[in-house]
Structure 1
Amino acid sequence: MSTDDDRAPTPPDRTRPTRRVWTTFALFTVVLVVAATSAGYGIGALLPTRYAAHADVLYALTREQPTGFLREDRNLSTQLVLLTSRTVLGPVASQTGVPVEDLAEALTTTVVEESEVIQIEFRDTDPEVATRILDAIVTQYLAVSNNDARADVRGYIEGQLTEVLDRIAQARTDADRQDELAPLVAREQQLRTQLDEIALSDLAGPGARVLVPPYAEVDPVSTGPLVTAATGGLTALLVAALALAVMVRRQIRR
């Protein structure tokens, strides 16, 4: 008759990690976190401190009025494209010696929701340089945006109106062309309306003007070494947690 002492020893539970495995994993986690934190701090210390200069430009809409969908307004979207185009940045690059690509990378433009205000930001390692370059960008943008394009449009419409008036005069004296008279008169009224809109725009003044002159923030906007170190440490913890999940899953499958 067998007794309890004769029973075979209970085999170890292989579905759970052993103490040695836990110790190895803990050391691995500590080393990984320390290494990632140190690397993050080092990268943050090497990155240059950057400052942001800001300016606000008011672009007064004429035909399109501000709405809840202002970000989709074609006029304002065109102004954002113009601000980052070579037409604006090219002369600034020649003036400052900074390549157009670098200017575009450091430049950010946004439209304040439900308004006609364009916010412009430029970043540089020197706050005075950032302010000076942003001032040059705003000045060039105003020169391009408020050029005599409306005068060119006015001249084109006036030419179209003269042509339509000549055709109306000819149609009134030609009995065979009386059916052309009504469409020509409608076209005349349309052109006169467009000229009136341009005249109102001229009375309102330039479409774009400076609302807030360029200024630089006192505090830097770049990420400091402490932030990059914390980011590195958190990333290491996530990697360690993923490794733990994989290890436990493999142990259970054995």
Structure 2
Amino acid sequence: MIDKSGTAVPPPMERQPGSERCNGSAGVTPVRTEDFSDASPVQQDTNAGSGSPPRRSLTAREIMKLTVIGLVLIMVGASGSYGVALLLPKEYLARTELLYTITTAEPTEYLREDRTLTTQVLLIEGRSVLGPVATAFGLPVNDLAARVNARVVESSKIIEVQVVDPSPDTALRLVEAIRDKYLDNSTPLENKPALDFLNVQLADVRERQRTARPEELLSLAEREAAVLSQIDNVRMNTFDATRARTVVPAYALDEPVSPRPAFAGATGGLTAMLVATAVIALLARRWTRC
């Protein structure tokens, strides 16, 4: 085109559809253009390569959409996790506590004492204890081992033994059997034969008392008293030598320990919040691109 003075004028540029979103008509400040005709080639290249694509601000409607999307994602994550937790089988816990005493004849330095208690925990969780218990309950040893947890209570000589099972009664019977087997294994072996022998002698004396003549009852009674005294002595020595004993009888918790729907819902909600943040950032970046 040529104006009245004879100067050539470039034709007006056609407006591209949708360009109003980035040229200020939608409430966004128009992008200021500069004339780089007098700039050096280096300046022109720098301006051409350093600029990022123009962007606009989010509208109120778009902000509302992003907010709704985020809330929906969080609610779906939290409610989904909560619902799944409700469908999982419940697990009940039974617990008992044992006191393991370090005798005065042994070193009682902290490190050695700690190793001794750790050894007892390994024995409780080992096959020497769990094997017979698993056989008695008809369970695989590995399955029972996965349900058992033994630990030393911090800064103490108490060993806590826990068992989980879908049935609280079964969990209680399992922890009792594990405790009894461990205590049986921890009893000094040298006292068992003597105690068994004296029990046989006591049973024999009492059997003879049923058929004894009156004149023999006095001597049998004295014999019975002597055997009972020896049994008491052996048991006392065994008790003194026994290093582990029960301090808290076995009991089962009334409420299941897993699953925990509230915890699962909170965890699912937090995870969904992270996902929602990433989705909102991605959508906002795409929507504001001109």
Please tell me the TM-score bracket, short chain as reference: 0.5 to 0.7
Matched, 1:11 2:30: yes
Q: Name which structure has the greater RCO, CA cutoff 8 Å, separation 6+.
A: 1
CA distance in 2, matches of 1:97, 1:49: 21
1:42-191 superposed matches below 5 A: 42-62=83-103, 63-65=106-108, 67=110, 73-148=114-189
CA distance in 1, matches of 2:191, 2:272: 59
Structure 1 runs of 4+ off > 4 angstroms? Answer: 18-21, 245-254
Residues 203 and 88 of structure 1: CA distance in aligned 2, closer, same or farther (over 3 Å):
closer
Larger radius of gyration: 2
Whether the 8 Å contact between 1:66 and 1:114 is mirrored in structure 2 is no
CA distance in 1, matches of 2:55, 2:168: 62
Q: Which amino acid aligns with 1:143?
A: D
Show CA shifts across 1:212-233 (max 9, x none).
1211122222233233223212
Structure 2 counterpart of 1:165: none
The two structures have a TM-score, normalised by structure 1, of 0.65
Match of 1:230 among 266, 283, 286: 266
CA distance in 2, matches of 1:224, 1:95: 31
Structure 1 counterpart of 2:39: none
Instruction: Report the aligned-residue RMSD.
Output: 3.2
Whether the 8 Å contact between 1:16 and 1:248 is mirrored in structure 2 is no
Query: Partner of 1:14: helix, strand, or coil?
Result: coil
Query: Partner of 1:73: helix, strand, or coil?
Result: helix
Aligned sequence identity (%) = 39
CA distance in 1, matches of 2:277, 2:288: 17
Query: Partner of 2:242: helix, strand, or coil?
Result: coil
CA distance in 1, matches of 2:244, 2:94: 19
Shift of 1:15: 5.1
Shift of 1:45: 0.8
CA distance in 2, matches of 1:29, 1:79: 52
Shift of 1:94: 0.6
Whichever structure has more helix as a proportion of its residues is 1
Matched, 1:27 2:68: yes
Shift of 1:44: 0.9
